[in-house]
């Protein structure tokens, strides 16, 4: 079975994330959306709310699992018997950052990182931009799946 981990904080889930996930499920038998827990990070949405957004978005997709993890992504991959990490790239800066992580992960394990370029119409979307739009009472609904609602 080809199983991939798609790690992130998903604070919140965006159309950029769903673009990568939806294309990833055509490549893998199973994609585990792995919400990383970082006690030092301040989140806009609780872990429960982030899980709810994601599970609702993929409730009818049997190839998707939603889980949480702490620590190194490669350790979680090993625990889940996943041989791939799925990552999305929006721009050259993302590539440089993700390349360094992928090389490190490959040095420490046999886990391959698979990069997908975000579709051009979604490449500008990031969770930090969505959070800023929300904080300033803008129309964030055009940037996220229907399952992500603030109120």
Supply the residues annotated as catalytic: 17, 41, 90, 127
List CB contacts of 114: < 8 A, sequence separation 6 or more.
4, 24, 27, 84, 85, 86, 87
Q: Provide the b/e sequence for 115-143 (b: ≥16 CB within 10 Å).
A: ebebeeebbebbbeebbebbeeeeebeeb
List CB contacts of 7: < 8 A, sequence separation 6 or more.
34, 36, 69, 73, 76, 85
* CA atoms of 1 and 82, how far apart (whole Å): 9
């Amino acid at each position: 079975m080809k199983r991939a981990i798609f790690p992130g904080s998903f604070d919140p889930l965006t159309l950029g994330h769903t673009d990568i996930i939806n294309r990833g499920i055509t490549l893998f038998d199973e994609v585990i959306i792995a919400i990383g827990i970082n006690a030092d990070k301040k989140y806009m949405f609780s872990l429960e709310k982030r899980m709810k957004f994601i599970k609702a978005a993929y409730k009818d997709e049997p190839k998707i699992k939603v889980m949480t993890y702490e620590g190194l992504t490669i350790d979680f991959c090993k625990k889940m018997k996943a041989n791939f990490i799925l990552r999305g790239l929006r721009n050259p800066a993302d590539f440089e950052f993700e390349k360094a992580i992928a090389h490190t992960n490959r040095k420490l394990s046999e886990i391959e990182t698979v990069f997908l370029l975000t579709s051009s119409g979604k490449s500008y979307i990031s969770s930090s931009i969505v959070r800023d739009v929300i904080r300033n009472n803008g129309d964030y609904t055009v940037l996220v799946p229907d399952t992500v609602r603030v109120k």
